[in-house]
Amino acid sequence: EQVRDQWVAMAVSGQAPDGATTTRVPVRPGLALLVCGQSPPVTPRLLDGFAAQAGAALDRDRLRTQAAQAEALAEGNRMRTALLAAVSHDLRTPLASIKASVSTLRQTDVQWAPADEAALLATIEDGADRLDALIGNLLDMSRLTTGSLHPFLRPTSIDEVAPVALHGLGTAASLQMVVPDGLPLVRTDPGLLERVLANLFANALGHSPPGRPPVMRAHLAAGTVVLDVEDHGPGLPGHLKSRIFEPFERLDERGTGTGVGLGLAVAKGFLDAMGGSITVLDTPGGGLTMRVALPAAATSPASPAVADP
């Protein structure tokens, strides 16, 4: 093909024998088929047919490449649009509540009652916690997309990680944990697992009605520790379940979620990196269940920790 006044080979098949002659068959302006051989007994019409097929194959390959590039560009634009929407709303909302509460407390002409002051301080703390969670998920997704996540796997107790994950959501977070005695340790990165559970707990809490707190149930199944995080919310139609782990997905049918749509995507990415998995199921009686599966750790206490490359 002619590119900037120079002919460039776009595709090559076979190898020309010694003493071969070269026949140039025009395909269209700027594109030609070179046939190398020892006087092949083919007619010009047959060579023209070969040239047309070669040109069509090259065009199809270019169309596929352009379609893939356009799809990647569209996905990048969608991610940027979603990120801007998150910054413009989900990050500004807690900032606005923090600023309003601070401005109120700084008023010198008002004497606030202790209860009112405590409520304003709680609003500030809640807003700061929301900002911390949102920014944390954005940074976690960046680690996943850039390939800079390196889990450090070691035997870990669910009994130790789950309460820490729940505590990080604030004192008002209420979730029932059902962990049987004798549940094996899991082979995981405890820090990443804490982030996974925190995101799953926050999602379940955000979609559970008052008076019906979510539940985390743990059990052992065929060498795998299974964690079911159940909520009793409105559930999700079947055709939307395949999208629930996509970044920036905020499925309105789920009700009143306040995040940027990264919590479940981050949870899945972390679990994939640690050799675990997550699936979405219907909760009996209504709601959704996030099922996490993690490999049980070896029973030997001397099992070494392993840093995945």
CATH code: domain of residue 101: 1.10.287.130
Helix, strand, coil percentages in the chain from 3-state DSSP, rounded to 5: 45, 20, 35
Asked, for residue 78, whether it belongs to a domain, the answer is: no
What's the confidence (pLDDT) of residue 239?
A: 79
Asked, for residue 76, whether it belongs to a domain, the answer is: no
Q: Are residues 53 and 174 in the same domain?
A: no
Domain boundary (146, 175, 197) is at: 146
CB contact at 8 A, 296 and 200:
no
What's the confidence (pLDDT) of residue 156?
A: 93
What's the confidence (pLDDT) of residue 12?
A: 66
More confident residue, 133 or 99: 99
What's the confidence (pLDDT) of residue 38?
A: 61
Q: Are residues 142 and 173 in the same domain?
A: no
Q: Are residues 37 and 158 in the same domain?
A: no
Q: Indicate if the pLDDT at residue 252 is higher than 60.
A: no
More confident residue, 32 or 232: 232
CA dist., res. 28 & res. 55, Å (int): 8
Asked, for residue 80, whether it belongs to a domain, the answer is: no
Asked, for residue 75, whether it belongs to a domain, the answer is: no
The answer to whether the predicted template modeling score (pTM) of the entire model surpasses 0.75 is: no
Element (H, E) at 76: helix 44-85
What's the confidence (pLDDT) of residue 11?
A: 64
CA dist., res. 1 & res. 9, Å (int): 6
Full domain range(s) for residue 60: 2-69
More confident residue, 54 or 307: 54
Q: Which residue has the tokens 């490449």?
A: 65
What's the confidence (pLDDT) of residue 75?
A: 62
Asked, for residue 28, whether it belongs to a domain, the answer is: yes
More confident residue, 161 or 7: 161
Tens of pLDDT, residue by residue over 101-143, are 999 988 888 888 889 899 999 889 888 887 887 787 777 777 7
**Measuring CA to CA, which residue among 277, 179, 283, 194 is closest to residue 231?**
283
Q: Are residues 173 and 303 in the same domain?
A: yes
Average of per-residue pLDDT values in the chain: 79
Q: Are residues 22 and 89 in the same domain?
A: no
CA-to-CA dists, residue 148 to 65, 151, 264, 271, 273, angstroms: 28, 10, 19, 15, 11
**Measuring CA to CA, which residue among 187, 140, 182 is closest to residue 161?**
187
Tens of pLDDT, residue by residue over 219-251, are 999 889 999 999 988 888 877 888 888 876 665
- 69-73, 75-79, 271-275 — which is least confidently predicted? 75-79
Q: Are residues 48 and 99 in the same domain?
A: no
Number of folded domains in the chain? 3
Q: Are residues 247 and 185 in the same domain?
A: yes
Q: Are residues 100 and 132 in the same domain?
A: yes
Structure tokens at 150: 């390196």
Q: Are residues 158 and 302 in the same domain?
A: yes
Asked, for residue 77, whether it belongs to a domain, the answer is: no
> Per DSSP, which regions of 19-168 are E strands?
21-28, 31-37, 152-156
Asked, for residue 242, whether it belongs to a domain, the answer is: yes
CB contact at 8 A, 101 and 112:
no
More confident residue, 4 or 299: 4
> Per DSSP, which regions of the chain are E strands?
2-3, 6-7, 21-28, 31-37, 152-156, 176-178, 186-188, 215-221, 224-230, 277-282, 288-295, 306-307
Q: Indicate if the pLDDT at residue 88 is higher than 70.
A: no
Q: Indicate if the pLDDT at residue 304 is higher than 50.
A: no
What's the confidence (pLDDT) of residue 228?
A: 96
What's the confidence (pLDDT) of residue 302?
A: 39
Looking at residues 8-21, what average pLDDT do you find? Answer: 66
Domain boundary (36, 69, 102) is at: 69
Q: Are residues 191 and 284 in the same domain?
A: yes
Q: Are residues 141 and 157 in the same domain?
A: no
Q: Are residues 156 and 48 in the same domain?
A: no
Asked, for residue 74, whether it belongs to a domain, the answer is: no
What's the confidence (pLDDT) of residue 253?
A: 45
CATH code: domain of residue 208: 3.30.565.10
CA dist., res. 41 & res. 50, Å (int): 14
Percent of the chain with pLDDT over 70: 76
Domain boundary (96, 129, 146) is at: 146
